């Protein structure tokens, strides 16, 4: 008998206050909830589609994130539980970032070019990863979510306000279209 696909979770859209609240560390008593949550987070991320998703984006205030950059178009998913950045490079890199919680909004964000992150994997084993390029950006972006920080918090107030106004307008149009059907 085939297992049923994981249920998709609703993704919160900025300025939902849950997105600005720091997530709490995962504790041993959360293990059963995490086992249920991870497949749902991966299913939600792939469906969006996205390359990263943090638990606060689906309304869960736990320090959990999932990432899959799909190198060579092949899935390489990994989960990060209680991730922490333990080292960053002095060298900076600027990349265009977007976010599932700010649909269709993008901005150039400057971050450390390389990071080292310590985390627990889906089996509870302690891991460390060193990354540069897109993975370094994605790790920092998702860990920011766990700290209540959005990518727009790294850009100028003027650009952030423009993006948030544009997002509010897009969401208003979508609600009006949905109500008109």
pLDDT digits (tens, 9 = 90+) for 133-179: 999 999 999 999 999 999 999 999 999 999 999 999 999 998 998 88
Q: Report yes or no on 11 lying in a domain.
A: no
pLDDT at 102 over 80: yes
pLDDT at 181 over 90: no
Q: Report yes or no on 8 lying in a domain.
A: no
- Catalytic residue selected from 73, 84, 97, 142: 142
Give the pLDDT confidence of 75-95 residue by residue, as tens digits.
899 999 999 999 999 999 999
pLDDT at 34: 96
Give the pLDDT confidence of 107-133 residue by residue, as tens digits.
999 999 999 999 999 999 999 999 999
pTM: 0.94
Q: Report yes or no on 12 lying in a domain.
A: no
For residue 162, give its domain range. 17-180
Other Cβ atoms less than 10 A from the Cβ of 143: the count is 21
- Total domains in the chain come to 1
- Classified as helix, coil or strand, 20 is helix
Q: Report yes or no on 9 lying in a domain.
A: no
pLDDT at 1: 46
pLDDT at 72: 84
Give the pLDDT confidence of 24-36 residue by residue, as tens digits.
999 999 999 999 9
pLDDT at 73: 86
Residue 85 dihedral angles phi and psi, to the nearest 5°: -80, 125
Q: Using CA atoms, how far apart are residues 13 and 115, in angstroms rounded to an integer? A: 27
Q: Tell me if the bond preceding 111 is cis, omega within 30° of 0.
A: no
| 142 annotated active-site | yes
pLDDT higher at 156 or 70: 156
Q: What is the dihedral of CA 15, 137, 50, 145, to 10 degrees?
A: -30
The CATH number for 141's domain is 3.90.45.10
Q: Using CA atoms, how far apart are residues 32 and 43, in angstroms rounded to an integer? A: 18
Q: Report yes or no on 142 lying in a domain.
A: yes
Q: Report yes or no on 103 lying in a domain.
A: yes
> What average pLDDT does this structure show over 10-14?
96
pLDDT at 63 over 90: yes
Q: Report yes or no on 108 lying in a domain.
A: yes
pLDDT at 3 over 70: no
């Amino acid at each position: 008998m085939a297992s049923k696909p994981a249920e998709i979770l609703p993704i919160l859209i900025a300025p939902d206050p849950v997105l600005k609240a720091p997530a709490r560390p995962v504790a041993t008593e959360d293990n059963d909830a995490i086992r249920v949550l991870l497949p749902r987070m991966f299913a939600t991320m792939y469906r969006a589609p996205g390359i990263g998703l943090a638990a606060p984006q689906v309304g869960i205030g736990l320090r959990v994130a999932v990432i899959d950059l799909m190198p060579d178009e092949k899935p390489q998913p990994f989960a990060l539980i209680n991730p922490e950045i333990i080292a960053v490079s002095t060298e900076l890199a600027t990349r265009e970032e977007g976010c599932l919680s700010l649909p269709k909004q993008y901005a150039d964000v400057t971050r450390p070019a390389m990071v080292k992150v310590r985390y627990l994997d889906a089996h509870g084993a302690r891991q460390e990863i060193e990354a540069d390029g897109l993975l370094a950006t994605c790790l920092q972006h998702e860990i920011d979510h766990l700290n209540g920080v959005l990518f727009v918090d790294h850009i100028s107030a003027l650009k952030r306000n423009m993006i948030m106004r544009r997002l509010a307008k897009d969401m208003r149009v979508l609600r009006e279209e949905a109500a008109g059907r």
